[in-house]
Amino acid sequence: MDKIGPIGVFDSGYGGLTVLQEFIRVLPEYDYLYLGDNARAPYGNRSFDVVHEFTLEAVNYLKNQGCKLVILACNTSSAKALRTIQQIDLVHSDANFRVLGVIRPSTETIGALSKNNSIGILGTPGTIHSESYKIELEKLSPSSRIFQHACPMWVPLIESNQHHTELGKKIIQNDIKVLLSKERSIDTILLACTHYPLILQQIQDFVGPSISVISQGPIVADKLKDYLSRNEFMQKQISRGASCSFLTTENSVVFQEAAMQFLAQSIKAEQIKL
């Protein structure tokens, strides 16, 4: 058996911290290595080629740090890069190394959460225009009707902490109105961007109690737990020191300060170059 290593968790920026937090809650015994490509975020409006190139660089970096399992805790990367990485880039790589995303686990769960099969999806333009959620949900939950809307301003608003300003609130509410204008009976909204849990309460307050607003962190964490329980070999490749380290392509002090918003605790980060 090769050396053991931490679970790599990647996001374009801070959003993946909302997923990491759930991993730690559900699987506290493992070591985690988080990498945020904050210097090049947001990815949401970037092309397929660029998101693939950036994501692959991050995956290779985490692999070189000893990770045997990397989770793309970023919908944009999962939508635009995961398949190419799994099916082309990693084919000749270490057979024991795996990269997983957040879209499949979310679509396996979300169909069953709607009572009337009317599901709204909010995400970045990259995620929404890739149609990944629609395609997966049509396979896994054929009776569901999917209504999507891209919110290009939400990640920049959250990253710059402007989502509570009057202008920020107005932009967010306008996007929700556009989604709901597509179908009045939507009873479940999936936040298909790992940044959005930060404004979950704001969204829930605006749509009211008849619509469930779902964050994907807890879903992805439960699915990871299930995956590891079925993959003893992978389980044995992960180190168990209950630690968490943070890497960022931004200035580490900037990352540490902003990460507090997401994790509600102070952390130490290291700046790296991809």
Kindly state the smallest distance separating residue 127's Cβ from ligand DGL, in Å.
5
The CA distance from 242 to 6, in Å, is: 10
Where do we find the tokens 């020191």?
A: 241
Residue among 20 and 67 whose Cβ is closer to ligand DGL? 20
Residue closer to ligand DGL (CB basis): 68 or 195: 195
Q: Which residues contact 171 (CB under 8 A, 6 or more apart)?
A: 153, 154, 157
Q: How far is the CB of 40 from ligand DGL (least distance, A)?
A: 9
Strands 7-11 and 32-36: parallel
For ligand DGL, the closer of residues 50 and 140 by Cβ is: 50
235: left (phi over 0), alpha (psi -120 to 50) or beta: alpha
Q: Are 82 and 250 in contact (CB under 8 A)?
A: no
Which helix (H) or strand (E) segment is 72 a member of?
Answer: strand 69-72
Active-site position among 67, 74, 151, 244? 74
Q: How many residues does the chain have?
A: 274
Provide, rounded to whole angstroms, the least separation between the CB of residue 210 and ligand DGL.
Answer: 26
* Residue 202 amino acid letter: Q
Work out how close the CB of 43 gets to ligand DGL at its nearest, in angstroms, rounded to a whole number: 4
Q: Which of 67, 151, 193, 244 is catalytic?
A: 193
Binding site for ligand DGL (CB under 6 A): 11-13, 15, 41-44, 74-76, 124, 127, 155, 193-195
User: Can you name the residues that pair with 244 across neighbouring β-strands?
Assistant: 32
Q: How far apart are CA 187 and CA 2, in angstroms?
A: 47
Q: Which is nearer to ligand DGL, 194 or 237 (CB)?
A: 194
Helix (DSSP H) and strand (DSSP E) numbers for the chain: 13, 10
CB nearer ligand DGL, residue 127 or residue 237: 127
Residue 173 Cβ vs ligand DGL, minimum distance, rounded to whole Å: 20
Q: Is residue 61 within 8 Å of residue 272, measured between CB atoms?
A: yes
Give dist(CA 70, CA 210) in Å, integer: 36
> Does 67 qualify as catalytic in the annotation?
no
151 is catalytic: no
Residues assigned a catalytic role: 74, 193
